[in-house]
Structure 1
């Protein structure tokens, strides 16, 4: 901030989440700065002070400064010249009010000078931040038509900070919901993940479900089991996991899961985890005895078994049973199958019969609760080739 102030005294202020969270007594993660300097001048001021400057969003006036290993996003004051529901063409300005009026919610439009002085450019914004009111700036429908992703941001901010959903804002989101079909899947999933990382997202997700917004971004999903899932999570002291919450809203059918992963363009790791959870070969987990659990851990992996157990626990309100599965998974170490291809070759097997025989013997070993020894397995191998 000192570098920016040296270039234009009084021309830069903190804005957005860092100011909002400071007012709420919440943790401050990202630091955003608004400045009257245009991007070229911002970059020059930073570099003159020996600070690395990266033009991460230069067309929208954003420079990322790296100071002591920490990023700071610095954006020139701007106004929207043209919008298409996804991206905006902007023009730079010196007017703080113009910059504020193009933002989404009042609680995100609070500015703070380097000395801590607050600037309430939009009336009511400070009270909104303190009381947890998520209210659009100006005409809600217009704000949404500028960028339809703001529909999901409305629900995300309510999930994290809201103390009761603004009825006018909710109605506007419902009216404009079809605009979400114009938003790239990657942006949709990024916003949904941040929403589902909230400690208590149930009210927001249920409202999305009731208004038909959820079905647009997650076709076939339902939020009805989210409250019971959150209750099980809290009982087990789990950190919120967006993928597990997605599982709770998605039909457990491989076809539906594959459609979901394609629709949202999930990463390979995310898609693999959802597919493992939906695997029809993975039987009901809750109520399984210790031996059955060990077999599930071996065949499907403890993560998939825990995921399945959590969703079952939410459906059946059996938090204690889920915690028993967690304890079993924590104490489990994957055993190593004692024989392999070299043993099969030594026994005289060839080609496809090697894999078939080893799979059969591995099934015997798993059924024995992993107690069959190498010697016993070799004897069985020999008897099958003799």
Structure 2
């Protein structure tokens, strides 16, 4: 075991109650440690959002100690040894040290242990199997995670094929962590195992697959990793529609997002990856069990936009977000317009049927017909204020109202 580093978490003592929580869990006796992402991100000086703890205590003992300390405890994953403590309205997961008894690629049967190294051995990657003292920040590294983190090498713990056989989702997690913390070319045995076992992804639920894919696409620039996945046939068993042409569209989209200084959208990036057909895109989104809102956004992004004279007109007709999506996906539009469009306030058509009645149009179907034409004229005129809209309406009434039933009180 190597432990050459100490961990400094600047926000560790800024969470009221955290030190007290750790003391009640036996921090002074080394019965609880920080684990996983909090340690990894702390070593990289990345903001730590989620804090997870590992402990030698059983879940029942954790619940008892938290109750004695007056700390709210929720048995969120009791079957897997996880208790959630709530301090300062923030959740902290506390998991009893475990070892795998059996696995089937989707779920594991576990047993509790008091060995930190046994617990580390069941984790996926070396960079995630790092522990740290909550008192001193000393890091405990059982599988060379610190060295791999420094070398930007994402490596499975032990045999890659065995780790993937334990949980098939680790294939997709591998590429997500490679995009976040790794460098190309990938570690040969890890990449090779993912390629060889890609078909095992078919055993997973579409929700779990979609969750990992969307997390990957949310990263700043995952295009090179997505291309690595396409080249290795990783998507073939689950989303075979994604190919090299889609990755080229993704690369272009990411470049335009960056040029426009616009935050990435995993949904829009998925739309870029998929065949440019709204029906196919919506079916794939449904297959992945994405939300109705996500399905609609993807389908709209893949639908050719209506004819328009200005980007404001397009935004008015299909919504600002959809217009920005089309602008980012297009290659023949100035991407600098994105910021302006994002700040544009969609105007409200200032007229109603009552305005036409006051102009002498008799209530009835002609009101709706004329109002639609007037609205189109108002859009073409660039969304002028109410006074100009009334002038446009008067012109339409004068030219087209003659064919309608009108009330002419002065005749």
1:143 is aligned to 2:167: no
User: Which whole-Å deviations, capped at 9, do the CAs of 1:69-91 have from their partners, x for residues lacking one?
Assistant: 22111111111122121111211
SS of equivalent to 1:265 = coil
Q: In the aligned structure 2, how far is the partner of 1:194 from the partner of 1:255?
A: 24
SS of equivalent to 2:168 = coil
Residue in 2 that maps onto 1:207: 228
Normalization by structure 2: what TM-score? 0.83
Q: In the aligned structure 1, how far is the partner of 2:227 from the partner of 2:37?
A: 25
SS of equivalent to 1:65 = strand
SS of equivalent to 1:237 = coil
User: How far did residue 201 of structure 1 move?
Assistant: 0.7
Q: In the aligned structure 1, how far is the partner of 2:336 from the partner of 2:343?
A: 10
Q: What is the aligned residue count?
A: 372
User: How far did residue 212 of structure 1 move?
Assistant: 1.6
Q: In the aligned structure 2, how far is the partner of 1:384 from the partner of 1:297?
A: 33
2:362 to 344, 347, 353: 347
Q: Is the 8 A contact 1:339 1:377 kept in 2?
A: no
Residue in 2 that maps onto 1:377: 393
- CA distance 1:330–1:2, change in 2 (3 Å): closer
- CA distance 1:343–1:36, change in 2 (3 Å): farther
1:272 is aligned to 2:290: no
SS of equivalent to 2:91 = strand
Task: Trace 1:157-306 onto structure 2 (pairs within 5 A).
Answer: 157-164=177-184, 165-221=186-242, 222-283=246-307, 291-306=309-324
User: Which whole-Å deviations, capped at 9, do the CAs of 1:181-209 have from their partners, x for residues lacking one?
Assistant: 12112211221122112112112111111
Q: In the aligned structure 2, how far is the partner of 1:78 from the partner of 1:241?
A: 37
- CA distance 1:299–1:112, change in 2 (3 Å): same
Q: In the aligned structure 2, how far is the partner of 1:138 from the partner of 1:121?
A: 11
Q: In the aligned structure 2, how far is the partner of 1:59 from the partner of 1:195?
A: 28
SS of equivalent to 1:338 = coil
SS of equivalent to 1:266 = coil
Q: In the aligned structure 1, how far is the partner of 2:104 from the partner of 2:369?
A: 58
Q: In the aligned structure 2, how far is the partner of 1:310 from the partner of 1:15?
A: 40
Q: Say which one has the larger Rg.
A: 2
Gaps of 5+ in 1: none
User: What is the aligned-residue RMSD (CA, Å)?
Assistant: 2.4
- CA distance 1:82–1:309, change in 2 (3 Å): same
Q: Is the 8 A contact 2:350 2:389 kept in 1?
A: no
- CA distance 1:80–1:120, change in 2 (3 Å): same
Q: In the aligned structure 1, how far is the partner of 2:204 from the partner of 2:97?
A: 25
User: How far did residue 294 of structure 1 move?
Assistant: 2.2
SS of equivalent to 1:75 = strand
Residue in 1 that maps onto 2:347: 334
Normalization by structure 1: what TM-score? 0.88
1:46 is aligned to 2:97: no
Gaps of 5+ in 2: 1-18, 406-411
Structure 1 range deviating more: 235-244 or 298-307: 235-244
SS of equivalent to 2:147 = helix
SS of equivalent to 2:74 = strand
Q: In the aligned structure 2, how far is the partner of 1:26 from the partner of 1:183?
A: 31
Residue in 1 that maps onto 2:38: 18
User: How far did residue 218 of structure 1 move?
Assistant: 3.0
Structure 1 range deviating more: 30-39 or 128-137: 128-137
Structure 1 range deviating more: 365-374 or 20-29: 365-374
- CA distance 1:17–1:348, change in 2 (3 Å): same
User: Which whole-Å deviations, capped at 9, do the CAs of 1:332-365 have from their partners, x for residues lacking one?
Assistant: 4323251248957972315xx7655544443343
- CA distance 1:187–1:364, change in 2 (3 Å): same
Q: In the aligned structure 2, how far is the partner of 1:327 from the partner of 1:341?
A: 34
Q: In the aligned structure 2, how far is the partner of 1:13 from the partner of 1:225?
A: 44
SS of equivalent to 2:248 = coil
Q: In the aligned structure 2, how far is the partner of 1:233 from the partner of 1:106?
A: 33
1:93 is aligned to 2:113: yes
SS of equivalent to 1:66 = strand
SS of equivalent to 2:240 = coil
Q: In the aligned structure 1, how far is the partner of 2:137 from the partner of 2:383?
A: 64
